[in-house]
Amino acid sequence: MATTRIMPLHIGKGRTESQAVSDIIDYVSNPQKTDNGRLVTGFACDSRVADAEFLLSKREYISTTGRVRGADDVLAYHVRQSFVPGEITPEEANRLGVEFAKRFTKGSHAFVVCTHIDKSHIHNHIIWNAVN
């Protein structure tokens, strides 16, 4: 049985917008945790440069709408999806993470699914762009 937790990603901690997105993407796509990147899947973005693509689309959104970014502005959403040890293969977990993200975002937001295999339980980190 999987457990899922969704958290908004804000700038916070004295970081810039770019640092905040880059830090989380770097952490979740860590090759040591994702079988050298084999368990990283991007949707509507290139997972290797997803941080830059997320920021570009955010800037385009602000430019198009004229919306002013606030201090508590959400940059992306971070989902942790954990599985019971032995319940699932890493490949199946990644596939389920992609399926979950597509359904949840209705396929209208870019996202990255990174399956970590460095703990006793397999778990996904799903980062999706706050804007589409």
Angle between helices 50-65 and 17-28 (to 10 degrees): 150
Residue 103 has a CB neighbour count (10 Å cut-off) of 9
Amino acid at 130: A
DSSP codes joined into one string, 1-45:
--EEEEEEE---TT--HHHHHHHHHHHHT-TTTTTTTTTEEEESS
The pair of structure tokens assigned to 65 is 């709408």
CA distance linking residue 73 with residue 82, whole number of Å: 27
* Marked catalytic residue, from 2, 17, 22, 27: 27
Active site residue 77: no
Residues identified as active-site: 27
